[in-house]
Chains A and B, each alone.
Chain A
Amino acid sequence: MSSRGHANRDVMDAGKSIEFHNVGFRLPDGKTLLADLNLEIGRGETLVLLGRSGSGKTTTMKLINRLLDPTGGEVRVEGRSTFEWDPIRLRRRVGYVIQEVGLFPHLTVEENIGVVPRLEGWDGERIKARARELLSMLGLEPDRFRARYPRELSGGQRQRVGVARALAADPPVILLDEPFGALDPITRREIQYEFKDLQARLKKTMVFVTHDVREAFVLGTRIGLVKDGRMIFLGPPELLLESNDPEARAFARCFHEARSPENAA
């Protein structure tokens, strides 16, 4: 395999799941949201895209499931350029979790989880069984929750259902866009650790967008730090703390302050 792309290829697994080759994204009005991005994400790896609001991390993620098309370079998923993928097929191979609003308010928990399997033509019994399995896996009692509507759930429960929905058709890749952003700090912490366990069991390729540096450290095998449309750091969390880049040091400071006792009050 030729070694094109960026220097940081700290890959856990042998295969490459997602690759960015010189990817740029510009709006029709000429504004550049993303420039010259090179990146490889290995199978089973969790890459956390970290950055301030508007830095370009969500744009990066939407290029993977073709909600956006790159205006320069190419994105490859499972070895194929996204331009060659039928967007519908691609999206069904890529689970997608966004903030809690992403659940369909007119569908029950079970129906929400079953959306992609139903689109894929699974039969009803199989969808039901899958929903039960996922609800148990995420710590929600199936018989209590499957017939509820999203508005009858707490924030944390909704987020768990969102994750279950993304996992339903067993996609090899899962994208998560600030999924825990709207939760209270305690629930958020609980669900982060549950999610880390889940990730260890499932071994999916995950791309996780957040601006919470602590979350990035808990979940990421690697962190990509994005600023003004450029990836200014890519590497394992502990290396972020040692980086000399001013943005990286700003985030590192946040991390330290969050851990130091004088800020706990």
Chain B
Amino acid sequence: MTFIEFLLRNHEEILGLVAEHLFLVAVSTGMAVLIGVPLGILLTRKPALGKPVLGFANIMQTVPSLALFGFLIPLNLYLFELKILGGIGPRTAIVALVLYSLLPIIRNTFTGINGVDPAIREAGRGMGMTDRQLLFQVELPLALGVIIAGVRVATVICVGTATIAAAIDAGGLGRYIFRGLRANDNVLILAGAVPAALIALTADLLLGALERIIRFGGGVKAKTKRLLWSGAAVILFCVGAPYFFMGETSGRIAVGSKDFTEQVILGEILAQTIEARMGSRVVRRFDLGGNLAHEALVAGEIDVYVEYSGTGLLAILKHKPLKDAREVYRRVKDEYARRFNLEWTEPLGFNNTFAILVRGEDARKLGLKTVSDAAKVSRQWRAGFGQDFMSRADGYPGFAQTYGFHFQEIREMDLSLTYRALAEKQVDLIAGNSTDGLISRYGLYQLADDRHFFPPYDAVPVVRQSMLEKNPTLRQALKQLGGILSVDEMRELNYAVDGEKRQARLVARAFLVKKNILAGAIPTN
């Protein structure tokens, strides 16, 4: 599909994402102005605060967004009944964006006011202006051009960084960009990046024009000015007010997912099963970046998502790797219950781990079943591994030692390219992802990990205990999904979305109908 075709076919969705993006940028920049300008003014009155405040704003700009989200999501700060901080969704995205855009606004307010000619300031004081009158009648109007320049920088930064909002289900053009990056789909990346760039350029032009009017025109009549300001305030209020009321799931069950294709399909499978069982729509909060799905679950922002047992053990609980799948499952189930009040329900049935792959024909010809079988015949083989596999603890070094591999040559390349390299006989063995759709597409064969070198990554829904207690049908719904997905089936579903570009929602629905969990006809795209 070309870029233009994509735009024509999806223009409604794109406009929706653009609107979400604009909303995030407008509210964030507006709030950054409301906070940053007074702070900048304060610094001109209390210069001792300059270093700590500017230092803080400086540091905020360097904090990686996922780390910042991880810190913000569990906060759960309430002002009366209104949740004002914490959780996933636009609220937290806006808080992060505000923190990122503060620096240029504070700095420009500070330097703008300090840059006012001291003689003019003294004239004002000599005429009997109070400090407040001096500020509002002389210093701020004269510094306004510089302040607007700061807002302009902050806005452009904000348009760019707002793409990260997609990592916490806050919408915006980042959705396309990240989806495109994951699926290696340039059209999708462009469909997100081009409108974002256009927004940044437009905002830059408009604010630049405003800056020039204020700096050099000086001829904006006081009335017009007042009208402009009150107009801006009204708009900000109208746009900003919903900020406090959004993201409330109001008792409905919320299903989350991480930010890759398989997770979105699994999210849909959970959501549609629960909807069918409980007869009520669930809230979908997909595409959560990094370990944010876990943070969101602990914070009560979502009620269930699919986690992998190895990830829970290593990345969340920070334990050493264990080989035995049952043991891993038991450990995470126990500790999650104790530490987080979260329950690991029935495993879905497949293990998403490293898959040692060979061509199907070679497996048949040489009678290869296990990795050990391959180790015996591999002296003349070339292997293709991704950078990740070459570098991690449970990757190549331990793997080669455990099985006694000596390859003729090892080629390090991007993971997504290894499947093709294997199929085209450029290499003879690769370490892929066991659920990747390309495995069945290219007719590759996964060798059994007979020495259990790779930690198990069994996919299991993790759910909040309080939700299970409140909704007995939820437990039944999740029980239905126990053992429902083999690794082959997961590959097919992944390929249907990544390879055939079908919608995850419909792919999941077709699967559930086939498994008699949903009634009705199998949908087609």
Contacts and interface: CB of A to CB of B under 8 A. Distances in A.
Interface of A: 65, 67, 87-92, 96, 98-99, 101-106, 111, 115-116, 119, 149, 151, 165, 175
B119 A101 contact: yes
Interface string B117-136: 10110111111111001000
Interface string B136-147: 011001100000
Nearest to A165: B127
A88 B130 contact: yes
A91 B123 contact: no
B127 A96 contact: yes
Given A88-B130, A105-B218, 5 more contacts: A89-B128, A91-B128, A102-B123, A104-B124, A119-B133
B279 interface: no
Contacts of B119: 98-99, 101-102
A149 B128 contact: no
Contacts of A89: 128
Contacts of A104: 120, 123-124, 137-138, 142
A103 B123 CA distance: 8
B219 interface: yes
A116 B127 contact: yes
Nearest to B216: A151
Contacts of B126: 65, 67, 91, 96, 98, 175
Contact of A98 (B123, B128, B141, B219): B123
A243 to B, nearest CB: 32
A102 B120 contact: yes
A175 B127 CA distance: 11
Main SS at interface, chain B: helix
A98 to B, nearest CB: 6
Nearest to B220: A106
Contact of B125 (A67, A111, A116, A149): A67
Contacts of B129: 88, 115, 119
B117 A92 contact: no
20 contacts: A65-B126, A67-B122, A88-B128, A89-B128, A91-B125, A91-B127, A92-B128, A96-B123, A98-B122, A98-B126, A102-B119, A102-B122, A104-B120, A104-B138, A105-B142, A106-B142, A106-B218, A115-B129, A119-B133, A165-B127
Interface of B: 117, 119-120, 122-130, 133, 137-138, 141-142, 218-219, 222
Contacts of A175: 126
Contacts, number: 60
A149 B138 contact: no
Given A91-B128, A119-B133, A149 B120 contact: no
Contacts of A88: 128-130
A67 B129 CA distance: 12
Nearest to A148: B219
A99 B141 CA distance: 21
A111 B123 CA distance: 15
A149 B218 CA distance: 8
A114 to B, nearest CB: 11
B216 to A, nearest CB: 10
Contact of B127 (A99, A111, A115): A115
Contacts of A98: 119, 122-123, 126
Contact of A149 (B117, B142, B219): B219
Q: Which of B123, B125, B218, B219 has most chain A Cβ within 10 Å?
A: B123
B18 to A, nearest CB: 36
A175 B119 CA distance: 15
Contacts of B125: 67, 91
Contacts of B123: 96, 98, 101-104
Q: Which of B117, B128, B218 has most chain A Cβ within 10 Å?
A: B128
B9 to A, nearest CB: 52
Contacts of A65: 126
B120 to A, nearest CB: 6
Nearest to B141: A106
B456 to A, nearest CB: 70
Contact of B128 (A106, A119, A165): A119
Contacts of A103: 123
Contacts of A90: 128
B54 to A, nearest CB: 27
A214 to B, nearest CB: 25
Contacts of A102: 119-120, 122-123
Nearest to B124: A104
B418 to A, nearest CB: 65
Contact of A92 (B124, B127, B222): B127
Contacts of B130: 88
A182 to B, nearest CB: 11
Given A106-B142, A149-B219, A116 B122 contact: no
Contacts of A116: 127-128
B223 to A, nearest CB: 12
Contacts of B222: 111
B210 to A, nearest CB: 15
B133 A101 contact: no
Given A67-B122, A101-B120, A119 B141 contact: no
A119 B138 CA distance: 13
Contacts of A67: 122, 125-126
Nearest to A65: B126
B140 to A, nearest CB: 10
Nearest to A91: B128
B352 to A, nearest CB: 64
B217 to A, nearest CB: 10
Contacts of B219: 149
B74 to A, nearest CB: 47
A41 B218 CA distance: 41
Contacts of B120: 101-102, 104-105
A175 to B, nearest CB: 8
A67 B123 CA distance: 10
Nearest to A102: B123
B203 to A, nearest CB: 25
A119 B218 contact: no
Contacts of A92: 127-128
Nearest to A111: B222
A84 B114 CA distance: 31
Nearest to B119: A101
A160 to B, nearest CB: 16
